[in-house]
Structure 1
């Protein structure tokens, strides 16, 4: 999908040789292994966006958290060669009881994403409207090693999770772009939004 400022990869493509499912799992492992006190999801300015960004080709961006009533304005600088992977709206279900089945976790996550009230994405103030619902990605179950003081608020250690949501993988040839997204689930009751000013450097 092309915009005047960015290229948005199709959800069935394999950016950098990985599927969107693969990127979703890597993204969650990035976010969930950062303690709440330093987590980029709770950052208003973008200063914490660089924590644990280890991929040489892709930079992960995140939304806020479900109960936030503030839409952050974050400013970040990244290398011009890097592509960007981020959610518009997503959900993760985690196994907090040993007898929770795979189908239970997937059903819980799907139920959240089946009730979309709003799904919007903007580049430099211009809406990207084409086929956004097609960017829904549902991962298989995977494991993540949660730190103490994790953003899920559960005990430290290895846990099983599954994700459902809407994701974009994009790249830009410009020196600067502004992107923003807005999504709501639970029949529109919960709204999550974020704004990024992205400066590309050499």
Structure 2
């Protein structure tokens, strides 16, 4: 008999905001990002140790999500990914939703943004007006221009530090790692998440000039003093890659959005598990 498996725990931490330039020390800089660690057990093991678990049937992604190639609310998934990053990076650390700040702040337009975490599991509550699309990363990653790090990273040159093509190449490398992705809407698992990868064009990094307000202090905001002759204050370019969900507006009432991911970077996997208890108001 074929063995069946159930994903019973995701010890995760979506780190939607990791980049080659987010590191405590320049020697630790690496372009990897968000990941989720999961534990698989057989149904036989579950039945031997506790009550039987009935799996909820999964549904195609388009049951809840706009199609991957659609332009929901007038923009592509790639464009929404860039806009999401600019929104997330610009919010002061003290109230940033990535760190558990109020989700209702800094929301504008027809689309409501949700955030992951920089690591670990999180359960959050959120009120969303009816009629809003809901956009968030299941797992994502950025890579930035960082001329400040030239001389501190091996084989990282001034040319490399301002090369947008290199940003694309490094960010795409992250997408080649093995991964597990999970999305559940009101307890219903969603299939086909691998198709929801989106790779952005380069966009401007929006972190504050005040280091204390940044979610990621290093290599953030406008370019600072460097040995490459890049003028201080020059806009910093960023490229993103990730797996994203743009939900159709949810009906008025209570809902739950649960997403998790594990990216198996060799030797250093990274994880996330986020639950949002949502109230959609008229």
Q: TM-score normalised to the size of structure 2?
A: 0.64
1:180 aligned to 2:258? yes
Q: Match of 1:152, SS?
A: coil
1:99-156 per-position Cα deviation (integer Å, ceiling 9, x unaligned): 3212221122112221132111111222111x21110000011113320231221354
Q: Match of 2:68, SS?
A: coil
1:109 aligned to 2:171? yes
**Cα 1:145–1:189 shift into 2, 3 Å:** closer
- Please give the alpha-carbon distance, in whole angstroms, between the structure 1 residues aligned to 2:236 and 2:106: 20
In the TM superposition, what is the alpha-carbon distance from 1:9 to its structure 2 partner?
A: 0.4
In the TM superposition, what is the alpha-carbon distance from 1:189 to its structure 2 partner?
A: 1.4
Q: Which runs of 4+ in 1 moved over 6 A?
A: none
Correspondent of 2:201 among 125, 135, 140: 140
Q: Match of 2:236, SS?
A: strand
Q: Match of 1:199, SS?
A: strand
- Please give the alpha-carbon distance, in whole angstroms, between the structure 1 residues aligned to 2:142 and 2:205: 12
1:80-113 per-position Cα deviation (integer Å, ceiling 9, x unaligned): 1111001100001111125321222112211222
Which structure 2 segments of 5+ residues have no match? Answer: 1-60, 148-157, 223-234
Q: Match of 2:106, SS?
A: coil
1:153 aligns with: 217
Higher strand fraction (1 or 2): 1
1:126 aligned to 2:203? no
Contact 2:104 2:127 in 1 (8 A): no
| Alignment RMSD | 1.7
Q: Match of 1:27, SS?
A: helix
Which structure 1 segments of 5+ residues have no match? Answer: none
2:128 aligns with: 78
Q: Match of 1:145, SS?
A: coil
Larger Rg: 2
2:104 aligns with: 50
